[in-house]
Structure 1
Amino acid sequence: MSDPVIGPRQAPLRTAEVARESGYSVQQVRDLERLGVIPPAARAGNGYRSYAPLHVHALRAYRGLAGAVGPVIARQLLTELRTGTVTEAASAINEVHVRLARERGESLRAQQALRAIQAEADTPEFEQDAERDSDAMTITELSRALGVRSSTLRFWEQEGLVTPERVTSLRARRYDLSAIRTARIVAALRSAGYGIPAVREIVGSLHRLDGAQEAQRVLRERLDRIALRTVGLLRAGTDLAAVVTAAREPAAV
């Protein structure tokens, strides 16, 4: 894919040329224009669309942003980049990088938590302690230990993620060591950004012989996806800069 000429060449671009330079189809270019991803194209006397190099930059920038944070947020960001100040635009782009870094950090912490929990479960002391009632926790104690609300634990129970024991006529919840271990894994995965269905699948796999390995595999795949999203955002850097610059220099569009 060749770079469009921004300097000497200012000739209008046809829809097919914009599609070729941006990597989108002609119909996608029109759809993305309709959605506001790129500014409205000028119209020639014959009614045909007439684009500028800025449109190509905006489409490439959108590809990188959409891969990093999703299409909806990417559309919002491009609007901000075109309408805000340079400081605001730079801050918005920086926030995307921060978001990806935060997701990576959360996934790494979840990965470390799973390793620690698995190492703990593999010790003879864990099996011995699992039989002692004194090591069980109430819902209040467990919520404090995990840093979540009691209502969150009840929600996880409703979703089949963590199953406590019930004692006394008041049906008070009690969590044995096995349930506590599962709750810790759920908390680690949720903090890493996993949705309930994904967490349910991973927790279900823990009961198999390869459960811990499967959970680690899922986290490694997430880290790989975050890395790809980050690289895509980096590749879009020049195009993002062109969008920000052109928005403040109308004569260059």
Structure 2
Amino acid sequence: MGRNLQTGRRLRPIDLARGHGLSTQAVRNYEEAGVLPAAARTAHGHRIYTPLHAAALRAFLALLPGHGHPAAASIMRAVHRGANDEAFRLIDEGHARLLEDRRTLEAVERALRDLAPSGGGARGRAGGPPGQGGVFIGPLAGSLGVRPATLRAWERAGLVQPRREPRTGYRVYDEADVRDVRLAHQLRRGGYLLEQIAPLIARVRTAGGLEPLRGALDDWRARLADRGRALLAGAAGLEAYLRERG
């Protein structure tokens, strides 16, 4: 079947580009990048495309939404040099990244469920300094069962940004800081690294708290579902191309 596709009717770059919203130059660029198999040339140097090239383009465009351009291109290049195992490994890596993102989302959701409403309670439990409306590092660390050095490490990693008491220079954690520390604590207990937690804490700060973040989490979950479907569609597109190659 692959031989029939390769020796079938000739196609021009415009024939491949038409219907995909691509330029003819993009088609030529894809061939030069190895996304499409190498095309034969006429005596005058014009490229000769075939239905096999059209099938390769369809496979690449199917892979693109789920894997992104660099990975999708690498998958197609691996196929065209006969390294199907490498192509399958790259596809597996795409699914593994999605699974890791799902686990991160689940960890954030668990952490949010485990966070009790803060109100003024966290300040009272941790023993904030009189008149300052905040919590010192020692009582806060003690309420979480961690050392003050741990909170200082989290500050260096950008997870929390307490203010300093002007007279003493002591760290003072306000209500938002306590929230961020407690969220970081839950995620650390879930096995997440500081560099993985920092962008999630930043998302909480940008959202203005936990409640606005819930809408962002719903959107995050929907985007993960879209990626999952895109990965399935990409795998189906590649399988169809592999069958046509024979």
Q: TM-score, normalising length from structure 2?
A: 0.70
Judged with a 3 Å threshold, the aligned counterparts in structure 2 of structure 1 residues 30 and 170 are, in CA distance, closer, same or farther, namely farther
Judged with a 3 Å threshold, the aligned counterparts in structure 2 of structure 1 residues 244 and 49 are, in CA distance, closer, same or farther, namely same
CA distance in 1, matches of 2:156, 2:104: 23
2:124 paired residue number: 128
CA distance in 2, matches of 1:155, 1:49: 54
Q: Name which of 70, 73, 83 aligns with 1:72.
A: 70
- The answer on whether the counterparts of 1:14 and 1:49 sit within 8 Å (CA) in structure 2 is yes
Judged with a 3 Å threshold, the aligned counterparts in structure 2 of structure 1 residues 233 and 220 are, in CA distance, closer, same or farther, namely same
CA distance in 2, matches of 1:124, 1:27: 62
Instruction: Say which SS state the counterpart of residue 66 (structure 2) adopts.
Output: helix
Deviation at 1:182, TM superposition (A): 0.8
CA distance in 1, matches of 2:89, 2:205: 38
- What letter corresponds to residue 202 of structure 1 in structure 2? V
Q: Relative to structure 2, which stretch is displaced further, 212-221 or 57-66?
A: 57-66
**Percent identity of the aligned residues?**
28
Instruction: Say which SS state the counterpart of residue 79 (structure 1) adopts.
Output: helix
Deviation at 1:93, TM superposition (A): 1.6
1:101 paired residue number: 99
- 1:27 partnered with 2:48: no
- What letter corresponds to residue 210 of structure 2 in structure 1? A
- What letter corresponds to residue 122 of structure 2 in structure 1? F
- What letter corresponds to residue 136 of structure 1 in structure 2? L
CA distance in 2, matches of 1:83, 1:174: 60
- The answer on whether the counterparts of 1:190 and 1:199 sit within 8 Å (CA) in structure 2 is no
- What letter corresponds to residue 155 of structure 1 in structure 2? A
- What letter corresponds to residue 12 of structure 1 in structure 2? R
- 1:205 partnered with 2:184: no
Deviation at 1:69, TM superposition (A): 3.0
Q: Deviations over 1:20-53 (max 9, x none)?
A: 3655333322232333322332222343322233
Judged with a 3 Å threshold, the aligned counterparts in structure 2 of structure 1 residues 135 and 177 are, in CA distance, closer, same or farther, namely farther
1:75-86 correspondence to structure 2 within 5 Å: 75-83=73-81, 85-86=83-84
Unaligned runs of 5+ in 1: 144-149
**Alignment: residue pair count:** 226
Judged with a 3 Å threshold, the aligned counterparts in structure 2 of structure 1 residues 55 and 180 are, in CA distance, closer, same or farther, namely farther
CA distance in 2, matches of 1:114, 1:19: 48
- What letter corresponds to residue 26 of structure 1 in structure 2? T
CA distance in 2, matches of 1:184, 1:245: 52
Q: Which of 1 and 2 has greater Rg?
A: 2
Judged with a 3 Å threshold, the aligned counterparts in structure 2 of structure 1 residues 113 and 201 are, in CA distance, closer, same or farther, namely closer
CA distance in 1, matches of 2:81, 2:108: 38
- The answer on whether the counterparts of 1:22 and 1:56 sit within 8 Å (CA) in structure 2 is no
Deviation at 1:58, TM superposition (A): 2.7
1:140 paired residue number: 149
Judged with a 3 Å threshold, the aligned counterparts in structure 2 of structure 1 residues 239 and 113 are, in CA distance, closer, same or farther, namely same
CA distance in 2, matches of 1:192, 1:155: 7
Task: Please tell me the root mean square deviation across aligned C-alpha atoms, in Å.
Answer: 3.9
- The answer on whether the counterparts of 1:67 and 1:232 sit within 8 Å (CA) in structure 2 is yes
Q: TM-score, normalising length from structure 1?
A: 0.68
Deviation at 1:163, TM superposition (A): 1.4
Q: Relative to structure 2, which stretch is displaced further, 180-189 or 19-28?
A: 180-189
- The answer on whether the counterparts of 2:164 and 2:172 sit within 8 Å (CA) in structure 1 is yes
- The answer on whether the counterparts of 2:118 and 2:175 sit within 8 Å (CA) in structure 1 is no
